[in-house]
Structure 1
Amino acid sequence: MQKTLIILGVLLVIIGLGWPWLSKIPLGRLPGDIIIDKPGMKVYFPITTMIIVSLVLSLIIRFFHK
């Protein structure tokens, strides 16, 4: 448990330091992300973004698990 918390803490620090560059990545605005924008209502379904994030996380976990 301690090792997991330390790794998560280091990852959060790295993400925090890299945020100016990470915010320029167009995740959330990819083709396939559904945005319904009507007066008084905005619905957002980031389908493509969720698939890409899931694939990247799966590859990272598989790489570190073996």
Structure 2
Amino acid sequence: MEHLGKTLVGAGLVLVLAGGILWALRDVKGLPLGRLPGDFSVEREGFSFHAPIATMLLISVALTLVLNLASRFFR
């Protein structure tokens, strides 16, 4: 059970770090996260829907690469 707790804390720290990096880079010109082709946005009167599918895929690939490199480094 102790191992599960450490894993959850580690995963939480990784998510906080990734969120902080994305928050810090939100105003960087040339980094169109949320505005990529494949990010869908629908706005109607009294309704708005935003599905950043391409951005989610890009972040997923980047995090997969980083975590795989980190796991190989710590073995």
The separation in 1 between residues aligned to 2:21 and 2:59, in whole angstroms, is: 15
Q: Moved runs in structure 1, 4+ residues, more than 2 A?
A: none
Identity of aligned residues (%): 34
For structure 2, the residue ranges without an aligned partner over 5 or more in a row are: 1-5
Q: What's 1:40 paired with?
A: 46
The separation in 2 between residues aligned to 1:30 and 1:15, in whole angstroms, is: 18
Residue 26 of structure 1: how far off its partner (Å): 1.1
Describe the superposition over 1:9-47 as per-residue Cα deviations: whole angstroms up to 9, x where unpaired.
8x47x739x81xx11221001111010111110000000
For structure 1, the residue ranges without an aligned partner over 5 or more in a row are: none
Let me know the Cα RMSD of the aligned residues: 2.9
SS at the partner of 2:38?
Answer: coil
Aligned residues: 60
The separation in 1 between residues aligned to 2:56 and 2:21, in whole angstroms, is: 18
Task: Give the TM-score taking structure 2 as reference length.
Answer: 0.63
Q: What's 1:49 paired with?
A: 55
Comparing both chains, which one has the higher relative contact order based on Cα–Cα distances under 8 Å and sequence gaps of 6 or more?
Answer: 1
The letter for the 1-side match of 2:67 is: I
Task: Give the TM-score taking structure 1 as reference length.
Answer: 0.71
Q: What's 1:62 paired with?
A: 68
